[in-house]
Structure formats: structure tokens, C-alpha cells
Amino acid sequence: MNAITLSNITKTYNRKTVLAVDDVSFEVGKGEIFGLIGPDGAGKSTLFRLLTTLLIADKGTATVAGHDVVKDFKEIRGLVGYMPGRFSLYQDLTVEENLNFFATVFNTTIKENYELIKDIYVQLEPFKNRRAGKLSGGMKQKLALCCALVHKPEVLFLDEPTTGVDVVSRKEFWEMLHRLKLLGITILVSTSYMDEATRCDRIGLILGGRLLSINTPEDTIKAYPEKLYAAKSDGIYALLKDLRSFEGILSCYAFGEFLHVSLKCAEQEALSYIQSKGHTHVEFKQITPTVEDCFIRLLNQKNEGNGHKDE
Amino acid sequence: MKQLFTFVKKEFYHVFRDWKTLLMLFGLPVIQIVVFGFALTNEIKKANIVVVDNAKDLASQQIIDKMEGSKFFSLQKTLMSSSQIDAAFKEGTIKLAVVFPVNFNTDLLHLNKASIQVIADASDPNTAITLTSYVSSIVGDYQAQLVPTSAIPFTIQPEVRMLYNPDLKGAPNFVPGVMAMVLLLVCVMMTSVSIVREKELGTMEILLVSPVKPLMVIIAKAIPYLFLSLINLCAILILSVYALDLPIKGSLLLLFGESALLIITALSLGLLVSTVTSSQQSAMFTSMLGLMLPTMLLSGYMFPIENMPIVLQLISNIVPARWYYIIVKAVMLKGLGFSAIWKETLILAGMAVFFLALALRNFKIRLE
């Protein structure tokens, strides 16, 4: 049985003037880590709120742990752990008080499920008498995860849990999620960090309320149809401009210190074009696309599609 | 049960860790009692009056002596012309002038009739009337002394007794009013803000996605403020008994019970406000605006309700403070028992149930 199912979910705000989620359907299997990847405003948080029974969809149905999100919202509320996108614990309560409070709210105790949260809690323990508002960003998120986990939920909803968290803490956070997965907990997680996508079992790329693709990170990358090259020279901005005016180019965009380029023409042709423009220290090599590349590709496709429609 | 206990404990943490809330909770009533008790009072103490004694005879002297003995006046004896008196009134340095004519005593003894001119600053009519009536009663006293009782065949002597407040002090009037205002304002504002704060901080989102029932959230929010308000009530009563010399005539238990009822009504109203507002500011604003003015103006403690236009009289019926004000006056000042106030109690209880039911019905179990 799937832990989460959505079929044709549509949600609008402001009397149907703002389309937040547009006809989204997907399933998440039990014990799976499913990542919703997309920029801010893509509709990720709305999906979370729909699934955690906080909002009601305009159209479509959804179930969590086998319960309908509208009819059986009470059952779901006892079964899931939810960590909202914004830090939502009591800032004026200490770490321990927060944890104790949420444990009691879910009719359990810290002791009962200590095994589950032990790994994170040992890191928080030195600060247990500190007010939650005074914690660092990473610590706050760890505490929030603890609070969402303390009642041993079947399904865990984590809305951008690593936003504003340093690289080391992010790594730890994901290791944590993989340990939870081993315990059979289903995790729906959203992020706007593309590099985190590879840590999910499957990812859904979401943009403008539409789910553009659902696949494993590997297959998402494999599905990238063209060859992708990384290019670099002394004058990176000039290179970008030149390449964009080149006929044989499919797409070209800045990516870190490189330009990522895909071609219509042969590799050799592009190289000689670059050299003809007098660039020095040119590097040009084929690379494996990242999830972000796949995302940018989908984004461009969508924009072009819209462009055609406009004409 | 344990859930509720933890929830209530959490609410107490919120209150005690926020000095602003604490200050408002306990500072407001104390300040109001002190300000109303000592600064803003319509009692007349030591009003500046001028006595112009053109007679300087026995009778005028005796009347002036009596005036000097009164705690209401601060006497200044000068010889002023009428234009000087006029000027003094214009400057506002005096509230009242008493002018004895020449030959006051002689006229009194020989013509059996003499007059005193009493001029009052009636820009404040209450003060003017009070002061002139004090003067009249002093003169009347003197007259009664002067004439042996048998001399006038028929006299009707009104024996005036000011019940419940013989000294006409302000405190018996405003303490019940302040009690109503403080309890209502504090409770409504605190509860509405505390729930809206959970919405604003996003914690409501987590609470909603938990097995907690709305009724429990509401009760857990209300209990700490009920408790703190009762402490507040103690503070107000101690202040009014010991600092303002206002004894509690009726049953203390009854007074507390009735106050608890008002607090519950106020808490329910606060919960209602919180369900219809979405930011702490608007919650605060709604409770301030929606309560402060009606409580002050329509509860009968500043202006008598009987004198209001019929529309306002009708509106005053839905102001909880109006009924509580009647109750407190009955219990605290008149020493009456429950049988005298059961009707008002019933009305308050009805309001509490109504507000609470409405709050529960409006409590959103989702985000929109």
C-alpha cells in the first residue's frame, strides 16, 4: 500500500485567482524518501498543507497512510509528523520544554520513543536548557525534526527542512533521514537545494504548481536527452554572450564558475567557434548533468512552450 | 488530563517569560486603582474659596469660622471689589466667592433678614452645585443655632442620609467600575493575543496537525488567565480596602464567584476575538476598541444608563461590564446576597455560554 497518494489535486487561492497547485498526481511508497524539488513559490508548501489536512483541495483526492485527507483528517493528524517550512516551535520555551510539550500533545513521552530521536537529541542535549529562539539555524531544525518525530509518525512531512542550515548540518540531517527510512518511516521532503535531490529515492520536479517529472534522481539525470558540456575561459561573461549568439547552441547558462552548454552542432564546431572569437584559456569538456541541469532544461522548455502559446 | 496539564504549564511559561505581558497583567490594575483613587477624583477637597467680609461683625465671623472648620474649603479672607472677584474667577484661582454685606448682623437681628452673596464658577457645574450646597448647609446650620427651635412654629427638617457612601467618596463608585474594566480588558486582550500569536508564529500549524482537540486548546489557553485574573482581583480588592478605605460589605466568596463568572465571560469573548482575527495587532486593537469604550461609557459607571437615549440603553444591555457593575455594587457596597443579583448573574452566565459556543464553532480546524 502506498503511504501517500495524490490524484489530480488542484488548489487555488484568493477566490480561484491564484493557482498554487495544478492537477498534481503522484504516489509515495511506504518507507520511501520522496523529494519535491522546486524553487520558491512552486507550490511545495501548499502540497504539504493539503496532505497534512491543513488545507482542502479544490479538486482531486489524496490519502495519507490509507486515510482520506478530507474525511479522515483526525486519524491522519495522529499518524503524521509535520515540520513546516517556517520555524514553528515556541521560541520562549527551552529545547527540553518544547520537546516535552510536543511529546505530551501526541500522547507520548520522550522516553517512549527515545531510540528514534536519540541521534539528534544527543547533539541538542548540551543546549537543553536554552530557549529555542536562541538556537542556531541548524539546531533549530534539528529540534523541529525531534519534535516532529517524537511520537513515531508513520509519515513524515518535512517542508524545506534544510533551508538556512550550514553544509555540515545539512549532511547530518540527510543521514538522519536515511536512518529513519530504515525504520520504515515514509518521508516527503521538499527542498530548493538541487544537490540534495540525489539523496532522495525519487524526486518530483515541481514548477508553477505543476509536477514536471517524477523519477529516481539517476533516471532523471539519465533522461537528459542531449550531451552537456562545461565551458570556461578567462572572460566568462564574454564567452556567455558569444555562445548565446552562436547558431549551433541549444542552451547556455552560468553554473557555478562554468557555463553549461548543450549543442545542436558537433562539439568540434563549437570549439572552433569559441576559438575564432579569441577566448584564452578555454576549457570545454563533456559532463554528467546534475538534477539542476534537468530542472533548468524543463524550465526552459516550459518557458518556450508558454512563448509559443503567447504568439 | 496530563495533556491539559502540560498545555496549561506551557501557557504559564509564556506569560512569565514575557515581561510585557506581565507588566500589563499586573501593572494595569494597580495603576488604574491608584490613578482613579488619588488623582482623578470628583470629590471636593480643599477647594479655594474667597470670603469677602464687608460686615466684620459677630454673625459673619461665626459663619466664616464654620467654613474654616470644613475640610472642603481652603479659605482666603480678603477684601476684594467685585471686579477683583471677577478677575480671580477668570484666572481660575478660586472656585467660589462668599460676600457678606455691610451690616450683616444688624440686618439679621433687626430686619430678621439678611443676605449673603455666593458666587460659584459654574463652568464645572457639578463642583459649583456641590460647593454652593455646602455653603448653604453651613449657613442653614448657623441659622438653626441662632433661632431657638420654639421660635418658628413650623419647621420641616429633611434628615438626609447618604446610604452606602455617607461621605460621598469617589471610591465606591469607581472601584467596581475599574474592576469590571480591568478584568474585561486584561482577559479579553490576553487570551485573544495568545491564540493569535500561535497563528502568527506558525505553531498553530503544528498544533492543528496533532491529535489535540480544539476544546482543549481553548481551555488550556483560558485557565492561566482565569488564575492570574483572580490574583489580579485580590490585588484590586486589597488596594481598595487598605489604600482607599473601601470595606467589602458583602460576602467575599460571592464577590469572587461573580468575578470568576465575569472573567470566564471575558475569556470566552477573547477566544471569540482570536478566532476572527489573524494578527496580534488586530486582536489587540479589536479587543481594545470593542471593549474599552463600551465598558467605560455604557456600563453605568461613568454615566447613568437611565439618562441615556434609548438606543444606547439597549446597546448597554450587551455590555458584560454593565451587569457586573451592578453585581459588584450590590455585593461590595450594599452587602446584598445572591438573591438580589441572580438575574444579573444569569445574564452574565448566558453571555459566557454564548461567546464560548461561538468561539468553539468558529475555531478553525484548518488553515483557511
Instruction: Yes or no: say if B111 and B86 are a contact pair by the CB < 8 Å rule.
Output: no
Of B40, B41, B47, B39, nearest to B134 by C-alpha is: B47
Residues A43 and A186 in one domain: yes
What pLDDT was estimated at residue A308? 47
User: How does DSSP assign B224-245, residue by residue?
Assistant: HHHHHHHHHHHHHHHIIIIIS-
A91 lies within 8 A of chain B by CB: yes
Residues A176 and A263 in one domain: no
Mutation for B interface: A16, A69, A72, A77, most B CBs within 10 A: A77
Which single residue is written with the C-alpha cell 482613579?
Answer: B36
Q: How confident is the model at residue B251 (pLDDT cuts 50, 70, 90)?
A: very high
Residues A171 and A27 in one domain: yes
B107 lies within 8 A of chain A by CB: no
Residues A136 and A175 in one domain: yes
Q: Choose the closest CB to A54 out of B17, B201, B367.
A: B367
Q: Given a cut of 60, is residue B149 above it in pLDDT?
A: no
Residues A147 and A233 in one domain: no
What pLDDT was estimated at residue A218? 92
Residue contact B2–A73, C-beta within 8 A:
no
Look up the domain containing A168 and give its range: 2-218
Average pLDDT of span B311-323: 91
Average pLDDT of span B234-243: 88
Residues of chain B contacting residue A106, judged by C-beta atoms under 8 Å apart: 210-211
Cα–Cα distance measured from residue B351 to residue B320, given in angstroms and rounded to the nearest whole number: 8
Residue A208 is assigned to a structural domain of this protein: yes
Nearest-CA distance A175 → chain B (Å):
24
Q: Is A6 helix (H, G, I), strand (E, B) or coil?
A: strand
Of A79, A146, A151, nearest to A112 by C-alpha is: A151
Cα–Cα distance measured from residue A102 to residue A105, given in angstroms and rounded to the nearest whole number: 5
Cα–Cα distance measured from residue B257 to residue B254, given in angstroms and rounded to the nearest whole number: 5
Residue of A nearest to B8 (CA): A101
Strands (E), chain B: 47-53, 73-77, 96-100, 117-120
Q: Write the pLDDT tens digit of every residue in B1-45.
A: 888 999 999 999 998 998 888 888 888 888 887 887 776 666 677
Residues A206 and A69 in one domain: yes
Q: In what order do the strands lie in the sheet with A283-287?
A: A249-255, A258-263, A228-232, A283-287
Count contacts between A and B (CB, < 8 Å).
77
**Which residues 182-211 of B are in CB contact (within 8 Å) with A?**
201-203, 205-211
What is the number of helices (H) and of strands (E) in chain A? 10, 14
Residue contact A97–B2, C-beta within 8 A:
no
Residue contact A77–B368, C-beta within 8 A:
no
Q: Given a cut of 60, is residue B293 above it in pLDDT?
A: yes
User: Domains along chain B?
Assistant: 2-40+169-362 (no CATH), 47-146 (3.40.1710.10)
What's the DSSP call for residue A193? -
Instruction: Yes or no: say if A211 and A26 are a contact pair by the CB < 8 Å rule.
Output: yes
Strands (E), A186-291: 186-191, 202-207, 210-215, 228-232, 249-255, 258-263, 283-287
Max CA distance (Å), chain A: 72
Residues A60 and A113 in one domain: yes
Residue B67: CB atoms within 10 A of its CB come to 20
Residue A303 is assigned to a structural domain of this protein: no
What pLDDT was estimated at residue B151? 57
Q: Write the pLDDT tens digit of every residue in B324-349.
A: 999 999 998 889 999 999 999 999 99
Cα–Cα distance measured from residue B50 to residue B260, given in angstroms and rounded to the nearest whole number: 50
H, E, C per residue of B250-311? CCHHHHHHHHHHHHHHHHHHHHHHHHHCCCHHHHHHHHHHHHHHHHHHHCCCCCCHHHCCHH
What's the DSSP call for residue B53? E
Nearest-CA distance B5 → chain A (Å):
9
CATH of the domain at A279: 3.30.70.100
- B7 contact partners, CB below 8 Å, separation of at least 6: A101, A104, A105, B212, B216, B217, B220
Instruction: Report the number of distinct structural domains present in chain A.
Output: 2
Residues A109 and A245 in one domain: no
Q: Write the pLDDT tens digit of every residue in B206-238.
A: 999 999 888 888 888 889 989 988 998 998 889
Residue of B nearest to A158 (CA): B206
A86 lies within 8 A of chain B by CB: yes
Last residue of a domain, one of A162, A191, A218: A218
Last residue of a domain, one of A160, A193, A218: A218
Instruction: Yes or no: say if A114 and A99 are a contact pair by the CB < 8 Å rule.
Output: no
Residue A72 is assigned to a structural domain of this protein: yes
Residue contact B3–A105, C-beta within 8 A:
yes
Q: Write the pLDDT tens digit of every residue in A105-128.
A: 999 998 998 888 888 888 889 999
Q: Is A206 helix (H, G, I), strand (E, B) or coil?
A: strand
Residue A311 is assigned to a structural domain of this protein: no
Instruction: Yes or no: say if B154 and B273 are a contact pair by the CB < 8 Å rule.
Output: no
Residue contact B209–A101, C-beta within 8 A:
no
CATH of the domain at A78: 3.40.50.300
Instruction: Yes or no: say if A116 and A74 are a contact pair by the CB < 8 Å rule.
Output: no
Residue A307 is assigned to a structural domain of this protein: no
Tens place of pLDDT per residue across chain A (311 aa)? 789 999 999 999 988 889 999 999 999 999 999 999 988 888 999 999 999 999 999 999 999 999 999 999 999 999 999 999 888 899 999 999 999 999 999 999 989 988 888 888 888 899 999 999 999 888 898 899 999 999 999 999 999 998 878 888 888 889 989 999 999 999 999 988 888 889 999 999 998 899 988 999 999 999 898 899 999 998 889 999 999 999 888 899 999 899 999 998 888 899 899 889 888 888 999 999 998 899 888 888 877 766 544 33
Residue contact A84–B202, C-beta within 8 A:
yes
Residue A237 is assigned to a structural domain of this protein: yes
> Phi-psi region for residue B100, left (φ > 0), alpha (ψ -120 to 50) or beta?
beta
Residue A203 dihedral angles phi and psi, to the nearest 5°: -130, 150
Buried b (16+ CB within 10 A) or exposed e, B84-112: ebeebbeeeebbbbbbbeeebbebbeeee
Cα–Cα distance measured from residue A292 to residue A194, given in angstroms and rounded to the nearest whole number: 6
Residue A177 is assigned to a structural domain of this protein: yes
Residue contact A105–B207, C-beta within 8 A:
yes
Residues A9 and A73 in one domain: yes
Residue A310: CB atoms within 10 A of its CB come to 6
Report in angstroms the alpha-carbon separations of A78 from A103, A245, B204, B364, B368: 12, 57, 15, 18, 20
Buried b (16+ CB within 10 A) or exposed e, B134-171: bbeebbeebeeeeeeeeeeeeeeeeeeeeeeeeeebbb
Last residue of a domain, one of A167, A184, A218: A218
C-alpha cell of residue B241: 480596602
Q: Which long-range contacts (CB under 8 A, 24 or more apart) does B67-70 make?
A: B67/B98, B67/B135, B67/B138, B70/B134, B70/B138
Measured torsion, CA atoms of residues B75, B77, B81, B86, in degrees rounded to the nearest 10: -20
What's the DSSP call for residue B104? H
- B311 contact partners, CB below 8 Å, separation of at least 6: none
Residue A293 is assigned to a structural domain of this protein: no
Cα–Cα distance measured from residue B262 to residue B270, given in angstroms and rounded to the nearest whole number: 12
Mutation for A interface: B206, B207, B366, most A CBs within 10 A: B206
The residue type of A88 is S
Residues A112 and A19 in one domain: yes
Instruction: Yes or no: say if B242 and B171 are a contact pair by the CB < 8 Å rule.
Output: no
Residues A190 and A52 in one domain: yes
Instruction: Yes or no: say if B29 and B235 are a contact pair by the CB < 8 Å rule.
Output: yes
Q: Is A91 helix (H, G, I), strand (E, B) or coil?
A: coil
C-alpha A275: how far from its chain's center? 39
Max CA distance (Å), chain B: 96
Nearest-CA distance A135 → chain B (Å):
16
Residues A125 and A238 in one domain: no
Of A155, A142, A187, nearest to A53 by C-alpha is: A155
